[in-house]
Amino acid sequence: MPYDLILKNGRILDPSQGIDKIADIAFTDGRVAAIGSDLAPDSGTDTRDISGKIVSPGFIDLHTHVYWGGTSLGIDAGEVARTSGVTTFVDAGSAGAGNFAGFRKHVIEPSEPRILAYLHISFAGIYAFSNRIMVGESDDMRLMAPADALEVVEANRDVIVGIKVRVGRHASGDSGIAPLDIALQLAEETSLPLMAHIDEPPPTYDAVLEKLRPDDILTHCFRPFPNTPVSGQGAVKESVIAARKRGIIFDVGHGMGSFAFATGRAMLAGGFMPDTISSDLHKLCLAGPAVDQAVTMSKFLCLGMPLEEVIRASTVNVAKAMRREDLGTFRTGALGDATIYTVDEGRFDYHDVVGEVLTGDRKIVPAGVVLEGRWWHSA
């Protein structure tokens, strides 16, 4: 079989298959073709020697805001992909039924990095989010639009992977938990998973968990106080452990207000790793504290998560959460996305959302990106 691209002599780390070895990997027609020793190119093969580097299935960021130009918080996925190594961005509800068509036509379709999306239950999506203006879209029940959202889902199932709702004092205000109930009805009707944002109470962390179904996602799961998953004594709450046993997926969703090192330490000490690591990257946290997916992953590496588990939480686990299992793996025939990177050693300062600075000894540094079987960018 002729190969379009071969990456030679890299350390292949693919948690989906339990692979961690030095080998070559080849891509043909946009998909993974082979993993082996001394794979032979032909005259038309693009061959890249990545000795000394690690290659994993393309990083997937489950929680981003990439409706660039369409919402005030949107960032440019193509620019961020070059520095973060992300090959698939999942937009977490920037658009609702009222503006999803523009998001698809003007951002998703022209984008070279893949963009998938959670559709917001709010008709307007997240429409008032800046340093000066912050209006919770779930505070106005008139914006809850399940019938309109159903039509949009049915017309866009190729790119919509779930339903998004934001609840909490900032996001839903006097509406409390009611928007979550409406979003759950839509998720049931469409047979899609739900991603629930939580900020400060009300509602409480526990109240949101109680309503979620197996395979639904709680994002911002390692929040600081209030609405934290740990007790005042630093133990993982029993309700959190029970929710995981029921099949709830716990996603980091770092952002500008939703990840604290203290919470991360307590959760990891209690044996509770996040299912998925995501940046919640948007315009207000691009310069910090989140920065990007690679930096967010590096924080967990420095908190003590093994590299294989950090990569698992940014590849195969994310693909499973989205029910897109041709992503996040190097299985033969899977979509041919790859992230090439190093894990540098040194002293690196990382910031959380409450002002703590962690000086870590390692950093994940992207060195190249493969999109659908072609070399796309060298960092």
Residues 287 and 140 in one domain: yes
pTM above 0.95, yes or no: yes
Residues 270 and 344 in one domain: no
pLDDT (tens digit, 9 = 90+) per residue, 305-362? 999 999 999 999 999 999 999 999 999 999 999 999 999 999 999 999 999 999 999 9
Q: Is 361 annotated as a binding residue?
A: no
Judge whether residue 55 has pLDDT over 90: yes
Q: Which of 56, 48, 54, 45 is nearest to 22 (CA)?
A: 54
Residues 107 and 140 in one domain: yes
Q: Is 65 annotated as a binding residue?
A: yes
What's the rounded mean pLDDT across residues 280-297? 98
Residues 185 and 275 in one domain: yes
pLDDT (tens digit, 9 = 90+) per residue, 341-357? 999 999 999 999 999 99
Q: How confident is the model at residue 1 (pLDDT cuts 50, 70, 90)?
A: confident
Residues 113 and 245 in one domain: yes
Q: Is 282 annotated as a binding residue?
A: no
Range of the domain at 176: 58-322
Q: What percent of the chain has pLDDT over 70?
A: 100
Q: How confident is the model at residue 34 (pLDDT cuts 50, 70, 90)?
A: very high
For residue 269, is it within any domain?
A: yes
Residues 306 and 362 in one domain: no
For residue 125, is it within any domain?
A: yes
pLDDT value for 379: 76
Distance CA 236, CA 245 (A): 14
Q: Is 174 annotated as a binding residue?
A: no
For residue 191, is it within any domain?
A: yes
Average pLDDT, the chain: 97
Residues 18 and 119 in one domain: no
Residues 297 and 371 in one domain: no
pLDDT value for 171: 97
Judge whether residue 89 has pLDDT over 80: yes
CATH of residue 189: 3.20.20.140
For residue 327, is it within any domain?
A: no
Do residues 74 and 68 lie in contact, with contact meaning Cβ atoms separated by under 8 Å? yes
Residues 180 and 236 in one domain: yes
Distance CA 15, CA 25 (A): 15
CATH of residue 33: 2.30.40.10
Residues 255 and 340 in one domain: no
Distance CA 307, CA 353 (A): 23
The residue among 322, 353, 368 that closes a domain is: 322
E-strand stretches of 83-226: 86-96, 114-120, 160-167, 194-198, 217-218
pLDDT value for 304: 98
Distance CA 107, CA 92 (A): 14
Q: Which amino acid is present at 366?
A: P
Residues 311 and 367 in one domain: no
Residues 68 and 38 in one domain: no
**Alpha helix ranges (H) inside the chain:** 77-84, 100-103, 146-155, 178-190, 205-211, 238-245, 261-269, 293-302, 307-312, 316-322
Q: What percent of the chain has pLDDT over 90?
A: 99
How many independent structural domains does the chain possess? 2
pLDDT (tens digit, 9 = 90+) per residue, 121-172? 999 999 999 999 999 999 999 999 999 999 999 999 999 999 999 999 999 9
Q: Is 63 annotated as a binding residue?
A: yes
